């Protein structure tokens, strides 16, 4: 089903994340017009749209990293606030900024994160993450020496140290090669199967097709369409909304991620 209006989306599952009339202005400029959006446990909603359409703004508001000018963001009934320990314990975020200690090696950085989060066997966790994210050959390199795709994999691994019921991701496919994008899609499918709610900003049509239950299209700060990815694609709406393929992190060729297993 493709919905044409930015109206509240009716879902049969209770919402874990609920945005109600959320907007954001900078000075006189409203960069995000009122959005109604909910994400249930085990559901993935993908936000797509051209550069500057408001996707990262919406994700930051959903993560409680920014405050709406109007409207409310709630997580499991709580007012969303990234400093609230009850929320920090259940929400993991990969935002649009790179935050790493440049003078630590990859292994040291992961160990620091694991210890800070109280992981029982931190060394074993780090080794598993290095293998899962294909970073084992770079384990002893400084984080400042990573390629951009390797850095993206490290940031994802650091976010996933948290126990989580909600995962918020801003272009996690950015700078990843096709193999790493496939592993990302598999990882997200596993998260969803575990009942995690996922809100995903993506420029990658195949990633949305592979993992999203619903695609929300933003245009100039407004939700202009939403619906199941297949319907959006069949109507040639989804691809029309995405930037042209060709640059790293933009829409890729069919088959990069989508493995034909519909969720």
Ligand X SMILES: Nc1ncnc2c1ncn2[C@@H]1O[C@H](COP(=O)(O)OP(=O)(O)OP(=O)(O)O)[C@@H](O)[C@H]1O
Q: Is 247 in the site for ligand X (CB under 6 A)?
A: no
Using the minimum distance from each CB to ligand X, give the nearer residue, 73 or 161.
73
Using the minimum distance from each CB to ligand X, give the nearer residue, 57 or 152.
57
Q: Is 31 in the site for ligand X (CB under 6 A)?
A: yes
Query: Mask of contacts with ligand X, 32-51, x by CB under 6 A?
Result: -----------------x-x
Residue whose tokens read 């259940």: 90
Asked whether 233 and 183 are in contact (CB, 8 A), the reply is no
Distance, CA of 91 to CA of 76 (rounded, Å): 11
Binding-site size for ligand X (CB under 6 A) equals 10
Asked whether 136 and 105 are in contact (CB, 8 A), the reply is no
Footprint on residues 111-170 left by ligand X (CB under 6 A): none
Among 18, 23, 38, 57, binds ligand X (CB under 6 A): 57
Helix (H, G, I), strand (E, B) or coil at 99: coil
Q: Is 67 in the site for ligand X (CB under 6 A)?
A: no
Min dist. Cβ of residue 26 to ligand X (A): 4
Asked whether 82 and 61 are in contact (CB, 8 A), the reply is no
Using the minimum distance from each CB to ligand X, give the nearer residue, 76 or 252.
252
Q: Residue 179 to residues 128, 133, 263: CA-CA distances in angstroms?
A: 18, 11, 20
Using the minimum distance from each CB to ligand X, give the nearer residue, 197 or 251.
251
Q: Count other Cβ atoms within 10 Å, centred on residue 82.
A: 13
Residues that bind ligand X (CB under 6 A): 26, 31, 49, 51-57
């Amino acid at each position: 089903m493709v919905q044409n209006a930015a109206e509240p989306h009716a879902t049969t599952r209770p919402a874990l994340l609920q945005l109600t009339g959320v907007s954001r202005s900078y000075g006189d400029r409203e960069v995000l017009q009122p959005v109604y959006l909910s994400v249930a446990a085990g559901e993935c909603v993908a936000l797509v749209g051209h550069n500057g359409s408001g996707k990262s703004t919406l994700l930051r508001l959903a993560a409680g990293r920014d405050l709406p000018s109007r409207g409310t963001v709630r997580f499991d009934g709580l007012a969303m606030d990234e400093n609230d320990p009850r929320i920090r314990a259940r929400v993991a975020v990969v935002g649009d900024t790179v935050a790493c200690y440049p003078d630590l090696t990859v292994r040291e950085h992961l160990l620091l994160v694991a210890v800070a989060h109280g992981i029982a066997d931190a060394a074993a966790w780090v080794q598993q993450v290095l293998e899962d994210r294909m970073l084992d050959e770079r384990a002893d390199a400084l984080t400042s020496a990573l390629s951009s795709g390797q850095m993206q994999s490290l940031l994802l691994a650091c976010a996933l140290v948290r126990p989580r019921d909600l995962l918020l991701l801003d272009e996690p496919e950015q700078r990843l090669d096709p193999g790493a994008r496939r592993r990302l899609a598999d990882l997200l499918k596993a998260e969803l199967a575990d009942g995690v709610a996922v809100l995903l900003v993506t420029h990658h049509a195949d990633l949305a097709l592979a993992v999203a239950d619903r695609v929300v299209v933003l245009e100039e700060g407004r939700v202009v369409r939403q619906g199941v990815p297949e319907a959006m694609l069949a109507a040639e709406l989804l691809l029309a909304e995405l930037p042209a393929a060709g640059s790293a992190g933009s829409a890729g060729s069919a088959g990069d991620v989508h493995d034909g297993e519909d969720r």
